[in-house]
Structure 1
Amino acid sequence: MNITRENVDALNAVVKVDIAKEDYSDKVEKILADYRKTANIPGFRKGHVPMGMVKKQYGKAVLVDEVNKLLQDALNKYLTEEKLDVLGQPLPKPQDDINWDADGFSFEFELGLAPEFEVELKSKKAITQYNIVADDKMIDEQIERIQKQYGKLVSQDIVEKNSEITGVYRNEEREIENTVTLTLDKFKGKATEKQFIGAKSGDVIALQTKGLYNDDHDLMHALKVDHDTVHGLDIEVTFTISEINKRELADLDQELFDKLFGKDAVTSVTELKGKIKEDAEKQFAQQAEQKLLNDVTEYLVDNTKFDLPAEFLTKWMQTAGEKEIDAQQAKEEYEKSEKSLRYQLIEGKLIADNNIQVTMDDIKGHAREMIKGQMAQFGQMNPSDKELDDIAARVLSNQEEARRISEQLVSQKLLAMYKEKANIKVKEITYENFVKEVYGDK
């Protein structure tokens, strides 16, 4: 067998595999001999079928199968030994009718080669790393939400600004009839609020759905309609009040603290505020780190320039999926996935250049910590090492879950490397201002 490669350019190559008769003949003869022992052909005793008849019936199929196996094994071995960084998979060049009666065969494969490039982590303009803090306003609002959640309902005769109103939305034509409990702050604009203030149980209020709620998703749940229906919905509904209540805030006492965090874990309002701040900022840190990872990724993709074997990859995409697609569909698919492919190559180079590795011990340790945190949520604060190891083993027996954890750890290590080596500036900001700055004031 002989394998040669011709580089078309820096990103494309053609590999030629020549297979000689001696590469496959012994294997083919052995398989046919085994077939002869088991062949069941009318007129001949088992094991006594003439070899010529066996070859005539099975020879070509066995030959094709063995040549294909040889071809794939040889190609894979060659790519590994030559350390070729290929994109996609080798594409066989179309061949007209192959003469399977010949003594040898030649096959050609197109290769798409990964480009060579350098990654510059230090951007001219600093990338912002947000340090999101829970300010007093946010903490006080969270405490009020907790007090409302654990407070008690007191019946009212008329609707006031802070009432909780239970009633039924109706529209006969659309077959809407849904019982909900609402508060006036969900409505958009003061006009709707005025319709409710002073109303009594049994009153019927007519409302237009267009612009009724601040968020269309609240309207969707209120009317119990689907997502597609609610957008642009402009009909009249009635709301029949059946119950009016006021929620009295729960006292900030030890009984409430114990309900929230367990006995004596928090013993004062000061400690409560500290705990709320700590828990909130842990969640904010995850969001801020994801934002930083997204921003660095975008910078790297936009500023790391290299060419790709686009024509080859487009052609490869035609047959890479479960269903074959045409050239136009493949072109569209390539255009959609090009940015992702570029980042995969950049990420792979950063991982190699910075020797970023995730070991099995890393994965097991991460799984143990994840399980420990989940058990703590259910009051199991001190699980034994054996319990953690047994559960972790079950979790990691799922290859998909093990792969997901490995990818998380790689992202964490990349993020740590970005913080160390990229041009990062830290900005302290409240969560409210973070949302406004990053996502717009919605």
Structure 2
Amino acid sequence: MDITLDKQTDTDASIRIKLQEADYQPKVDKKLKEYTQKAQIKGFRPGKVPPSLIKKMYGKGVMVDEINHLLIDAVNNYIKENKLSIVGEPLPDTEKAEEIDWDTQKEFEFSYNVGLVPDFSVDVENLALSAYQVEPNDTELEEMVTSLTRRYGEYTHPDTTAEGDFVYGTLKQVDGSINKENAFLSLSSLKKEALPQFTGVAKDQAITFDIQNVFENDETIRLFTGTTPEEAAALTGNFEFTVTEIDRSEPAELNQEFFDKVLGKDAVQNEEEFKAKLRTLLQENYNQQTGNLLTTQIKDQLLANTDITLPDDFLKRWLKATNDKVTEEVLAKEYDLYVKDLKWSLIKNKIAETNEIKVEHEEVLNKTKDLIKQQFGSMGMGEQADDMLNTYANNFLQAEKGKNYMNIFEQAFNDKVVELVKTKATVASQTVSPDEFKKITKDGVE
């Protein structure tokens, strides 16, 4: 077997393989011998079918299969042994393959197109990052308490409406065609100045209003009227809403039963401990948000500052060849996003290689257990015993044919790379208020 690399450009190359009969025939003979021993053909006893008949019946198919196996192993081994940095997967030269005469040829030549990534460097030490520290304030804490008391409260059906109620009724457009039964209205969605018109209203009482004067935005109008976004934006004039039912959430009392429902049995013993725990949860949530923002900064700066040349033409051909749903139209819309994700993956791998970062199975298991604790441990379930956590974690990692394991592995890998970058980059710590942080994140999204 002769394997060579034909490099056309820095990003495009072909792996050429020449096979002699001696490279594949021993494997073909071995496989045909197995067929001879197992074949059950009418007129012959098991194991007594003439080898010449087996070869005539199966010889070409076996040869094609064995050569394909040989080629796959040869290409993969060549890439690994020569440490070729490729993206995508090798694409066989189908035109050359179609010229093969499998009935008569003894020697073969194959070619696989590959996309190469030229070597690049990643500079993490010159990154300038901002690590925000956010402390929950008393207003947020009280808002969280109010929200939880409503969530765990009881629904009643009062005779008249009040602020915060959920109201059902019949909606009619005074000078139009809209007539909606079972219309739903949350009074919290109204403009503040319009609220008095909708409170103190009894069942079967009608309210007439200008729809553009009572709602904060077109989306709320769309939900209330059941129209399309375009229709909702164009709606004007008076509507009549007749109340048929009123739902009200009566807040739960701040007692032990409520504390247990929210945080788990006996997690806290009084209101002071309850609010202290909620403040801790708010802080943990901010820590996660600020951590995510810092990771986004790292990703964005490294993508902007790292020069990576990709084999774009090859990648587009590979994406189309390996996925029937990928068309030229799809590539036009989504290729840039794909390239961004690919470059980020290459950057992370380069950082990991340079700094010998590896993820062990124990780290994947612990990461999974932490995620389970975050999901179930904070509100209402309490901490899980270690043996139960291990069972949950292992079952999750074994599900979905390994996809779950790879997802958690990638998260753990990403975490280790980000933590390494933090230790090498310049990170300025800055304390901001919750409102300031919301503005920072909003501006970042926009």
Superposition TM-score tier, normalisation by shorter sequence: 0.7 to 0.9
**2:182 paired residue among 161, 178, 194:** 178
- Gap regions ≥5 residues in structure 2: none
**1:119 paired residue among 109, 113, 122:** 122
Task: Tell me, in whole angstroms, the C-alpha distance in 2 between the residues paired with 1:105 and 1:290.
Answer: 53
Deviation at 1:272, TM superposition (A): 4.1
The answer to whether 1:166 aligns with 2:163 is: no
Deviation at 1:188, TM superposition (A): 3.3
CA contact (8 A) 1:317 1:334 kept: no
Q: TM-score when scaled to structure 2?
A: 0.82
Task: Tell me, in whole angstroms, the C-alpha distance in 1 between the residues paired with 2:442 and 2:353.
Answer: 34
Deviation at 1:167, TM superposition (A): 3.4
Task: Tell me, in whole angstroms, the C-alpha distance in 1 between the residues paired with 2:384 and 2:109.
Answer: 63
Deviation at 1:266, TM superposition (A): 4.2
Could you say which residue in structure 2 is the equivalent of 1:423? 426
Task: Tell me, in whole angstroms, the C-alpha distance in 2 between the residues paired with 1:401 and 1:227.
Answer: 38
**1:129 paired residue among 123, 131, 136:** 131
CA contact (8 A) 2:169 2:245 kept: no
Task: Tell me, in whole angstroms, the C-alpha distance in 2 between the residues paired with 1:351 and 1:24.
Answer: 39
Could you say which residue in structure 1 is the equivalent of 2:65? 65
Amino acid at match of 2:21: K
Amino acid at match of 1:338: V
1:219-276 residue CA offsets vs partner (Å, 9 max, x unmatched): 55545x488688637376532234678877666566655654444814244x444332
Amino acid at match of 2:190: F
CA-atom RMSD, angstroms? 3.8
CA contact (8 A) 1:368 1:388 kept: yes
Task: Tell me, in whole angstroms, the C-alpha distance in 2 between the residues paired with 1:300 and 1:115.
Answer: 17
1:1-38 residue CA offsets vs partner (Å, 9 max, x unmatched): 11122332332222211110111223323434444566
Task: Tell me, in whole angstroms, the C-alpha distance in 2 between the residues paired with 1:379 and 1:247.
Answer: 20
The answer to whether 1:410 aligns with 2:408 is: no
Q: Write out aligned runs for 1:244-393 (5 A).
A: 257=259, 260-261=262-263, 262-263=265-266, 265-269=268-272, 271-321=273-323, 323=324, 330=331, 333-372=334-373, 376=377, 381=382, 383-393=384-394
Task: Tell me, in whole angstroms, the C-alpha distance in 1 between the residues paired with 2:381 and 2:143.
Answer: 30
CA contact (8 A) 1:167 1:239 kept: no
3-state secondary structure, aligned to 1:118? coil
Task: Tell me, in whole angstroms, the C-alpha distance in 2 between the residues paired with 1:212 and 1:67.
Answer: 74
Could you say which residue in structure 2 is the equivalent of 1:6? 6
Task: Tell me, in whole angstroms, the C-alpha distance in 2 between the residues paired with 1:53 and 1:244.
Answer: 85
Task: Tell me, in whole angstroms, the C-alpha distance in 1 between the residues paired with 2:317 and 2:308.
Answer: 20
3-state secondary structure, aligned to 2:119? coil
Task: Tell me, in whole angstroms, the C-alpha distance in 1 between the residues paired with 2:59 and 2:166.
Answer: 83
Amino acid at match of 2:113: E
Q: Write out aligned runs for 1:80-159 (5 A).
A: 80-93=80-93, 94-95=95-96, 96-100=98-102, 101-123=104-126, 126-146=128-148
3-state secondary structure, aligned to 1:115? coil
Figure out how many residues of one structure are paired with residues of the other and give that number.
435
Classify 1:226/1:283 alpha carbon distance in 2 versus 1 (closer, same or farther; 3 Å).
Answer: farther
1:91-115 residue CA offsets vs partner (Å, 9 max, x unmatched): 2223152133122111122221122
Classify 1:230/1:43 alpha carbon distance in 2 versus 1 (closer, same or farther; 3 Å).
Answer: same
Q: TM-score when scaled to structure 1?
A: 0.82
Amino acid at match of 1:176: K
CA contact (8 A) 2:219 2:232 kept: no
Amino acid at match of 1:419: K
Deviation at 1:424, TM superposition (A): 2.1
CA contact (8 A) 1:169 1:237 kept: no
3-state secondary structure, aligned to 1:317? helix
Deviation at 1:155, TM superposition (A): 8.6
3-state secondary structure, aligned to 1:64? helix
Could you say which residue in structure 1 is the equivalent of 2:27? 27
- Quick check: 359-368 or 25-34, which moved more? 25-34
Classify 1:355/1:217 alpha carbon distance in 2 versus 1 (closer, same or farther; 3 Å).
Answer: farther
Amino acid at match of 1:389: N
Classify 1:207/1:354 alpha carbon distance in 2 versus 1 (closer, same or farther; 3 Å).
Answer: farther
Amino acid at match of 1:358: V
